[in-house]
Structure 1
Amino acid sequence: MSRLQPRSKAISTSNVSPQSAVSTVASSATGSNSAATSKDIASGPQTPVSRPGNRPSTVDPVSDRSTLFLIRRTLCSHLVDKGRSTPLPIENILPPLTSSNGVDLQLYAFIAIIIREFVHTWYTKITPDPMFVEEVVKIIAHCTRALEQRIRNVDLQSVLFDELPDLLDVHLKVHRTAHYKLHPSPLEVSPRTIYHSLWPMTCLSPVPDDDGGPLSQQQMNNEAVYRQMLVQGVLAVLLPTEDLENDCLTTLVGQIFSEMIIGGAVGGKAAEPWLLWEVITKVAEVVQNQLPRSKAKVRLERSHSDVGRMSPFDATTQMSKAGRLKWHAQKTFWLVLQYIFLAWTALRFLFNTITTASSLPPRSSARKESTKDSSHSTDHLTPNKSNIETLPIGEDLELKKPIIKMKVWSFVDSLLDLSFRMPWLSGTISMLQWAALTGFGEVGNTDGILDKILSHAIDTHVLDPSQLPSVLRNARAALFPNNAPAPPRVIPSPAEQLLIRKKCAETILSLIPAKIQDIYFGGGREKRVAEVEEVLNMFDDPYCNKHLLYGIVELLIVRLMPELAEKGVEELFEERLS
């Protein structure tokens, strides 16, 4: 069990000793009291001042200080040395979850909340012994370290921009087909039946009844069994052999992940249409807040828009002939100057991009190098690092798909319905894609100039690991406000769900410039909102959403643990325990 021991790091020290600190505080307190006494005698009675203890608490529940207090009180209160004046760092008490202390802090906050709310509530009534919770934490730590090592070997660009958009594209097309009515009322078939026939899943069979009959109960039972098998397969791959033999630990950990996380979150709340619309609204609001729109820029845009709407007659009627000529000359001069500056900036950007792309590493060898670096840097985290195999460069090249050929572009085309609305634009984009892949230099093909530029931009702006702690912190604030489960929310009524969908459509429209809205949508504001709502209806059925969510879960698990695609759960257990 030496691999589960914490990392050795330096203990934080202070430059001021406790005795000197106490004496300094005492002397300052004595001096302040004497000064206050003399001031009170000289000035007479004063108005009582409120003490700091009476002030309202403004502690941020997701701050590092509050997070550390939550983790120490929940997970390691029995491990802290009571005689120390300075507490040990959290990295020296608990086993590491990943190779990043910032990510470990946020993950341990999630673990602390789950154990406090769902384990301590019944376990402390049986026994005060904390060793059981400590063993659960060690099992989770071992699994997270193994997952981190496996993530380093996954092509995240392909997963995020090719395979996940492919699932979304399938869901969109199947949903539209299932909800397209071909027959009148007596002959029509339920959209859920058509959807399940086009995208069958064993765990979601049979199609549930609308009134919650026996078919619904049978489907719920099949779904629960599927979640248990899924989690047991993950544990059979990740857990060490000595922990896998402990039925009590594996049962508890499996129950937490299958019912509370997958069942409660993925198969429960996350499948609700109104919740998905609210998530999309919040993401759109975050993007809108990050757009660089200062007040000066808004005023400048307003002034330009006013001038643009002003007709030439209105702009020149109040000017003399000489003034009109001068005004036209100035306008032409500044317009030419702006075009020259724009062309120079574009050429400079293109030159810098081409010169930078020549020095970027090829995508085929980048995965192999990152695998080697990760295996050396995490030697102390995963004992079986020698089992990691890297593909040859030639074979890896066949697996790499060009960025511009990934499914994310076809999904955007299907989502915006460009082939129907703007066939000229869809055809132009397809021609440019073909030219980049097969034209002069093949700049868009694998390891081409354009392909390396796009890959570098994705790694820098999308897959930046330094953003992960803040993402986990925001997720914890949304899921567990004040570090506790949020009170059960009342399911919105049908009218309220329509308002949520409308707000989501309006938020999405606010991100699109007005000129692009005029070209794409046309018509008035209400017509545009209605068309965006029609696109959002791809998430209007919880049963259909479960197909998409479970498909995403299966994809991620198989990419991280390819063994599950080749062997069954029972075979994996027999292989590990034999």
Structure 2
Amino acid sequence: MPTPSIVSQSKGPNQPNLAKRLLFPNSTGDIPPLFSSPNTPPELTAEVYDFIALALRAFVNPWWTKITRYDKQFLPDITRILTHVVRALETRVHGRDLAPLVFRDVPTIVTQHYRDYRNAEAKANSSYASGGALPIPVLFHNLQPHMAVSADGSIDEEYMRQIIDHILKSCLPPEDYAPDPERFVIREIVLKILLKDVIPKITQPWFIHKIILDQLGQDDMVLPESRPESPAASPLSFHTLIVVFLSAIQTLSGTCLAMINAYKQAVSTIKRVNQTPTRPPISRRVSTPLPVPLSPSISASSSVSSYTPSQDTTLTSNPPSAPLTNDYALPALYLVSEIFSTQARMAASSIMHPLLLLAVSFTPFLDRQVATLPFDASADVVNPRLLPYLLMQALSPKLLLTTIRNAKRTLFPNGYPAPPPIDPTLEEQAQMRARLLAYRGKSGWVETHILPLFLGPDPSMTLATAIDPLSSRECNVHLIMLLLDCIIGTLFPELWGQ
């Protein structure tokens, strides 16, 4: 049997990859940079280009090759448009303050979702539901209407199409936005991925249960209701005392080492937060301030979908104002309190109230501090604090690289779109819910001492109450659309008229 030559063995690694063959067929050098930031890792650029090449080969190349076999410039033109979009999105992400979105807007919307669902559930068998004739999704839709979502959970395609078209118009130069074919192809691909693949999947209750179970790291087997009986205690002896004494010393030393390590990490983090350079003044429009509620009980639909900014007002003289802080820690605590209904149990309320007091006490350190310059009322100096600093550390290129790799592995496992996965049966969905309700943590001490205080005497019932507002696909569609509106409105405030 002839052995392969050295030339044939060395030819493989030198062959151009898929992205270079499809997206840059006429280029002889390296692929051009995709991101505008010079600190972007090269592997991130390669992964994003590879993902774009796989998507275009799967969704565009099959029907385009039937139209013409000789035009090889269509895919490079789409790549050029996508490059403009990616760079524009990168600029907007770096130029926007994402801390209010992550720590304030998203928890408030989810909290309002829980409240509206529970209000609709309470009205299900009353005269508000026409004597029980109206289901919970219809009642929820009446409490939280959205112009693009119907009561049965269907999304208006034209609404999403207009949003995507506006994003392309904001990101593309006029000469690239004017031609219709490339822009329509990109718009319809994004629309298909969102409305046919992503949103129908992530709004399923079983999919949410699966994500929670994956994050908790729970096994596939349902935890037993009764714990195994402990062996009979051995008679007290000198050997037993020595073992207990040494075990206590080991536990104490381990606890002390953990506390020392936590203290060092806390001191190091505090130093890094305080040494974070102050952001340059941010110009802003002086407008009439909106009333701020004491608690996040505003309807999410009115605060996101139908928000209209107030008219600009001119201030002749503006004295130096005191530094302003945003309550970034409180919305998350309100969300936890609403999910687990801590106000209905005295022990849980006694735990949440000190946490709220601590969050209020440490607000100047936890939240972002904004000080208005005395000589310019339209400019702010932003002093980052702990929570915005942690967000900046979390939103790193490494996270984006991991996300792109997971998406490529999931959507294109063999280089081509994977067959649609089979949805779990009703029995499998019930098993996932049972595993979630049976979860008690990985520590017996937590199960016996912490959970009864926070979740009450029946943790399974409390957990069932916590996941019930996510058990309706139609209601989950409302939640996803409001979150999507909030994210797009943060990156593209011109959609809100700002």
TM-score by length of 1: 0.63
Q: Check whether the contact 1:142–1:239 (CA below 8 A) recurs between aligned residues.
A: yes
User: Aligned match of 1:404 in 318, 326, 329?
Assistant: 329
Q: Deviations over 1:524-567 (max 9, x none)?
A: xxx75565344333222221111111112111111111111117
1:160 and 2:108 are equivalent in the alignment? no
Corresponding residue number in structure 1 for 2:293 = none
Q: Aligned ranges for residues 388-399 of structure 1 at < 5 Å?
A: 398=324
1:74 and 2:26 are equivalent in the alignment? no
1: CA distance between counterparts of 2:50 and 2:321? 41
Q: Check whether the contact 1:271–1:546 (CA below 8 A) recurs between aligned residues.
A: yes
1:546 and 2:477 are equivalent in the alignment? yes
Q: Aligned ranges for residues 463-482 of structure 1 at < 5 Å?
A: 463-482=395-414
Corresponding residue number in structure 2 for 1:225 = 158
**Stretches of 4+ aligned residues off by more than 6 angstroms:** 65-68, 308-311
Corresponding residue number in structure 1 for 2:148 = 203
Corresponding residue number in structure 2 for 1:433 = 359
Cα RMSD of the aligned pairs, angstroms, is: 4.1
Counterpart AA for 2:190: F
Q: Aligned ranges for residues 75-224 of structure 1 at < 5 Å?
A: 75-76=23-24, 78-79=25-26, 81=28, 88-89=29-30, 91-92=31-32, 96-97=34-35, 99=37, 100=40, 101-128=42-69, 129-180=71-122, 181-183=124-126, 187-188=131-132, 189-205=134-150, 207-208=151-152, 223-224=156-157
Q: Which has the higher strand share?
A: 2
Corresponding residue number in structure 1 for 2:301 = none
Corresponding residue number in structure 1 for 2:304 = none
- % of aligned pairs identical? 20
Corresponding residue number in structure 2 for 1:558 = 489
- Please report how far the alpha carbon of residue 366 of structure 1 lies from its aligned counterpart in structure 2 after TM superposition: 4.2
Corresponding residue number in structure 2 for 1:413 = 337
2: CA distance between counterparts of 1:555 and 1:114? 27
User: Aligned match of 1:500 in 432, 451, 457?
Assistant: 432
Q: Deviations over 1:133-191 (max 9, x none)?
A: 21111001001001101111222333222222222222222222222344289602321
Give the SS at the match of 2:362. Answer: helix
Q: Check whether the contact 1:270–1:276 (CA below 8 A) recurs between aligned residues.
A: yes
Structure 1: where are the runs of 5+ without partners?
Answer: 1-23, 30-51, 53-64, 82-87, 209-215, 289-304, 372-393, 568-578
Counterpart AA for 1:414: E
Give the SS at the match of 1:474. Answer: helix
Corresponding residue number in structure 1 for 2:263 = 350
1: CA distance between counterparts of 2:107 and 2:426? 29
Q: Check whether the contact 1:155–1:367 (CA below 8 A) recurs between aligned residues.
A: no
1: CA distance between counterparts of 2:322 and 2:415? 44
Corresponding residue number in structure 2 for 1:484 = 416
Give the SS at the match of 1:500. Answer: helix
Change (3 A) 1:334 1:270: closer
Q: Check whether the contact 2:342–2:349 (CA below 8 A) recurs between aligned residues.
A: yes
2: CA distance between counterparts of 1:395 and 1:550? 37
User: Aligned match of 1:360 in 273, 276, 290?
Assistant: 273
1: CA distance between counterparts of 2:86 and 2:322? 26
Counterpart AA for 1:501: R
Q: Deviations over 1:318-343 (max 9, x none)?
A: x3xxx37xx64774576468547745
Q: Which has the higher helix share?
A: 1
Number of matched pairs: 423
User: Aligned match of 1:244 in 155, 177, 182?
Assistant: 177
2: CA distance between counterparts of 1:486 and 1:533? 34
Structure 2: where are the runs of 5+ without partners?
Answer: 220-226, 284-319, 371-383
Q: Deviations over 1:395-451 (max 9, x none)?
A: 9964x525433x2222122222222242211222223333434xxxx6556569xx8
Corresponding residue number in structure 2 for 1:275 = 207
1: CA distance between counterparts of 2:257 and 2:430? 49
- Please report how far the alpha carbon of residue 369 of structure 1 lies from its aligned counterpart in structure 2 after TM superposition: 9.0
Change (3 A) 1:457 1:118: closer
TM-score by length of 2: 0.72
Counterpart AA for 1:79: N
- Please report how far the alpha carbon of residue 242 of structure 1 lies from its aligned counterpart in structure 2 after TM superposition: 0.6
Q: Deviations over 1:112-150 (max 9, x none)?
A: 222112211111111120212211110010010011011
Give the SS at the match of 1:314. Answer: coil
- Please report how far the alpha carbon of residue 245 of structure 1 lies from its aligned counterpart in structure 2 after TM superposition: 1.4
